[in-house]
Amino acid sequence: MAEQLNFIRVRGAREHNLKDVSVDIPRGELVVLTGLSGSGKSSLAFDTIYAEGQRRYVESLSAYARQFLELMSKPDVDLIEGLSPAISIEQKTTSRNPRSTVGTVTEIHDYMRLLWARVGIPYSPATGLPIESQTVSQMVDKLTALPEGERIYLLAPVVRGRKGEYRKEIAEWQKAGFQRLKIDGEFYPIEDAPALDKKFKHDIDVVVDRLVTKAGLESRYADSLETALKLADGIATAEWASVAEGESEPRRLIFSEKFACPVSGFTISEIEPRLFSFNNPYGACPVCDGLGAKLAFDADLVVPDKDKTLHKGAIAPWAKGPSPLYTQTLQALAGHYGFSMDMPWWKLPEGAKTVVLYGSGSEKIKFVYDDNARKYEVNKTFEGVLPNLERRWRETDSAWVREELGRYQSETPCEACEGYRLKPESLAVKIDGRHIGEVSRLSIRHAGEWFTALETRLTDKQMEIARRILKEINDRLRFLVNVGLDYLNLSRASGTLSGGESQRIRLASQIGSGLTGVLYVLDEPSIGLHQRDNTRLLESLKGLRDLGNSVLVVEHDEEAILTADYVIDMGPAAGVHGGEVVAEGTPQQVMDNPKSVTGQYLSGAREIEIPEARRPISKKKVLRVVGASGNNLKNVTAEIPTGTFTCITGVSGGGKSTFTIETLYKAAARRLHNASDAPAPHERIEGLEHFDKVIDIDQSPIGRTPRSNPATYTGAFQPIRDWFAGLPESKARGYGPGRFSFNVKGGRCEACQGDGVIKIEMH
C-alpha cells in the first residue's frame, strides 16, 4: 500500500502506438518524459495518464454536473494506481475571443478594475483637474439653462445592468407614491410593471417628475432632484421625452452628487469595477464595443497594384463588373482635375489620389453618364472611393456583398478610445496620473515595477483599501516574470500568443493557485524560450513540485532533462517502431544506459554534427527590411540572404516575432497575395520581387474539420482515390473518385456522415 502512494503505477498501456507499456512514475517529483518524436511520449502522458485522471474526476461528479462536461473515453490500459487529480497544460492558444487579453486570462485585469474603482480619482478631460462633487444648486442651474418648452423626465436610475425580479422594490416605490417606471427602455404605470426574468439583466428608472421647462421652476427642480438623488444613491438623470431628429435615443443629462466637472459638464455616474471592463456595456467603448479596433477600408487594399493605371483597373473594387459607371466617374474626375487615366497610380499627383480616394468635398463636378440606353449629365460632389465603399457596406443586407467588400478592409485602432477599449468616463479615472488603459499597455516587467512603486505613493487611507489588491496583482505579475513572460503587455490579445506563451501563462496561473496533491502534465514548456529564460521556467516547475504536486513534463530540452528528478526515455524509434520504455531512472542512470539514444546525446557520446561547408550567400539577392519599428523594435534595418536557411534568434521578447511575422511576413503577404492584415510599422522592404509567394508555418492546428487527416491535408488522398476509381471493377460499376471520399454522399458512411463515430444524446 505504501508503494502505491509513492508511485503512479501504469500497467499494460496500449493507447496509439504504446506496446503494453508498464512503468512506475514517482509521485511528488519532477518527471521528464523524453524520446524521439512519435515514440509515444504524448500517448503515455496525455492520452493515457491525464485522460484517466480526468475521466475519474468527471465520473466522481454528480449526474447534473457531468451533463455540462465532455466525457472522455477510457484509455486502453489494464491498470493505473496512485493517480492524483490531473491538470493538463498543453501548447494551445488560450482563446480566439478578441476580447480576451493577457490581463483577463491571468485575472490581473479583474484586480486592476477593483483597484481603480476603489482608489482611483476621476479627472475632467476638459480641465485636467480632479472632478469634485456636484451640488443640487449646480444641477438646478443646468436645468434652468435649458430652452423653454422642453418636455423632460427627471429619473432616478435605481437599477443598472443587474439581474433580479425586483418585485419587493417595485412595491416599495409604489407605496412611496411613485406612479411610473422606466424598465429596460420602456415606460410603464407602476401598477402595470411587467414581471421581470431574474436570469436577465435589467435597467430600472423611477420617474420622479415630468415637466415642461420654463422660468420659475427652480424650487420644483430642487425638490425633484433631491428625491432622485436620495433614491439612486447620488445620481439623477434628466431625459428628453422625445427623440431628436437624426438621433436614435433621447438626449440625457446625468447629474452626480459625487463626480461632475463644473466647466465642461463631464459627469461620471458611478465608479464601480464594471466601469473598467471592456466586456461590459457600462465600460466598453461605444464605438468599437470594447474591441479596441474596428474594420475600415484600407487604401492599400483598394489600390493593391500601384503600377496599374485607372484605365486598367487600379481601383480594385471598381475594376469588376461590366457597368461603365465607375469608369465614366473616373473620366469625369480626370477631366475636371486635369490628370491622366493612363498614368500609373504611383505617378499621379497627391491631390488627384486624395480626390479619388476621399472625395471632392463641397466642390461640384460635371459627370456625363452613358449606359447605352440613355445619356445624361449631373452636377454633384464626388463622395470618394473609400466613403463609397463604407456606405455600401453599411447599407447592404447582402452577405455576399459584405464578404466581397470585406476583402478591402483591414483592422485599425479605434479612434474614439485610441485602442484602450474603454469609454471616456473609464479613462478619466486615474491612479498616480495613469488610467487603467495606460497601465495595461505596460509590459509585465514594467507593470510590476509600477505597482511596487505605487505602494509608496498612495495615501494611508488609499493603502488601507488597496493593500490586499496590490498583493494579488504583484504575486501574479511575479509568477509571469518567473516563467519568462516579462516582455508581454497586459493588453496583448490572447489570440496573438504562441502556443508556448499560452502554456506558460496557464502555468503561472497554476503556481499562483497554490494547489497541492495534483498531477500536472505539461507539453514541452521550453519551446520558444531562450536559454537565458529556460532556467527561470525550470525553477517555476520545481516550485510547482515543491508545493506537493507531481509534475510530468514531455520535453526534449537538455537542461530540462538534466534538472529532472526522474527521466523516462521512450523509443527506440517512431510510430510502430516505438511505444516502449527504453530507459528510466535518474538523468545519470539514463546516460549510463547504452540502449538510450537520449542518454548518448546527454553524455556526449553522440552529438549533432555542425556542417563544415555552408551554402554561399549572394550579396546581390537579399531581402532587406528597412526601419522596422513595431512594438519594441527600434528602427531596425536588416538584410536576409535569399536561398539560404536563416535563423532569427534572441532572448524572449527581443522582437523576433515582431520583426519576422508582424513586419516581414505580413508586408510580403500584402504585397504578394493582397492580404488584409496590416504589417507592423516600417519604412520599406526591398527584394520581394525575387519571390512569388510567402507561407507562414505557425503553431495553429491544421485540421479544420473532424474528418481532416494527414492524407487529406497533404493531398495524398487524391491520388489514392483516383487509383481506386481507375480499377477495372470501379470502372465497370461507374465509380468515380467521389465514391472513395468520406466527405461526400455516395462515398462516406451515411450512418456517421463520414466521422467514423456516432454521438448519441443521452437523456
Q: Among 270, 285, 311, which residue terminates a domain?
A: 270
**pLDDT value at 663 more than 70:** yes
12-26, 162-176, 361-375: least confidently modelled range: 361-375
At a CB cut-off of 8 Å and minimum separation 6, what does 367 contact?
A: 328, 329, 332, 377, 378, 379, 380
**pLDDT value at 2 more than 50:** no
Question: 104: burial class by Cβ within 10 Å (0-12, 13-18, 19+)?
Answer: buried
SS3 state at 592 = helix
pLDDT in tens, 154-171: 999 899 888 999 999 999
The per-residue pLDDT for 579 is 93
Question: Are 503 and 585 within one domain?
Answer: yes
**pLDDT value at 116 more than 80:** yes
Question: Are 213 and 242 within one domain?
Answer: yes
Mean pLDDT over residues 442-466, rounded?
A: 93
Residue 101 lies in a domain: no
Question: Are 510 and 570 within one domain?
Answer: yes
The per-residue pLDDT for 350 is 92
Question: Are 233 and 146 within one domain?
Answer: yes
Mean pLDDT over residues 521-550, rounded?
A: 86
Question: Are 244 and 149 within one domain?
Answer: yes
Mean pLDDT over residues 668-675, rounded?
A: 88
Question: Are 583 and 681 within one domain?
Answer: no
Residue 462 lies in a domain: no
Residue 536 lies in a domain: yes
Cβ atoms within 10 Å, residue 100: 17
For residues 621 and 643, is the Cβ–Cβ distance under 8 A? yes
Specify the CATH number for the domain of residue 563: 3.40.50.300
What's the pTM? 0.71
The per-residue pLDDT for 332 is 92
Cα 677 to Cα 408, 624, 669, 706: the distances in Å are: 10, 20, 8, 28
Cβ atoms within 10 Å, residue 352: 19
Rounded Cα distance, 617 and 639, in Å? 11
Mean per-residue pLDDT of the chain:
88
Return the higher-pLDDT residue of 699 and 522.
522
Question: Are 77 and 147 within one domain?
Answer: no
Residue 427 lies in a domain: no
Question: Are 550 and 669 within one domain?
Answer: no
Most confident of 175-184, 247-256, 694-703: 175-184
Q: Among 382, 413, 444, which residue terminates a domain?
A: 413
**pLDDT value at 4 more than 50:** no
Q: C-alpha dihedral over 320, 325, 330, 331, to 10 degrees?
A: 120
Largest CA distance in the chain: 101
The per-residue pLDDT for 640 is 93
* Residue with cell string 529564460: 533
Percent of residues, the chain, with pLDDT higher than 70: 96
The per-residue pLDDT for 263 is 60
Half-sphere exposure of 509 (CA within 13 A, CB side): 17
Residue 150 lies in a domain: yes
Question: Are 237 and 301 within one domain?
Answer: no
The per-residue pLDDT for 207 is 95
The per-residue pLDDT for 204 is 94
Rounded Cα distance, 235 and 221, in Å? 14
The per-residue pLDDT for 703 is 67
Specify the CATH number for the domain of residue 759: 1.20.1580.10
Question: Are 142 and 201 within one domain?
Answer: yes
**pLDDT value at 609 more than 90:** no
Q: C-alpha dihedral over 120, 121, 122, 125, to 10 degrees?
A: -110
The per-residue pLDDT for 646 is 93
User: How many separate domains does the chain show?
Assistant: 5
pLDDT in tens, 433-445: 999 999 999 999 9
For residues 7 and 82, is the Cβ–Cβ distance under 8 A? yes
Specify the CATH number for the domain of residue 337: 1.10.8.280
Residue 252 lies in a domain: yes
The per-residue pLDDT for 104 is 92
Rounded Cα distance, 80 and 87, in Å? 16
The per-residue pLDDT for 92 is 67
The per-residue pLDDT for 761 is 61
Specify the CATH number for the domain of residue 228: 3.30.190.20
Rounded Cα distance, 293 and 665, in Å? 21
The per-residue pLDDT for 704 is 67
The residue among 203, 129, 111 whose CA lies nearest residue 166 is 203
Question: Are 558 and 638 within one domain?
Answer: no
Q: Please give the helix or strand (H or E) that residue 121 lies within, else none.
A: strand 121-122
Residue 442 lies in a domain: no
Mean pLDDT over residues 560-572, rounded?
A: 95
Question: Are 562 and 654 within one domain?
Answer: no
Domain of residue 502, residue span: 2-93+498-603
**pLDDT value at 269 more than 80:** no
Confidence of residue 271 (pLDDT cuts 50, 70, 90): confident
Mean pLDDT over residues 102-129, rounded?
A: 90
Percent of residues, the chain, with pLDDT higher than 90: 50
Q: Among 270, 286, 312, which residue terminates a domain?
A: 270
pLDDT in tens, 289-317: 999 988 889 888 899 888 889 988 899 88
pLDDT in tens, 15-63: 999 999 999 999 999 999 999 989 999 999 999 999 999 888 888 888 8
Return the higher-pLDDT residue of 473 and 246.
473
Confidence of residue 509 (pLDDT cuts 50, 70, 90): confident
Residue 752 lies in a domain: yes
The per-residue pLDDT for 95 is 64
The per-residue pLDDT for 616 is 87
Return the higher-pLDDT residue of 652 and 280.
280
Distance spanning both ends of the chain, measured CA to CA: 40
**pLDDT value at 241 more than 90:** no
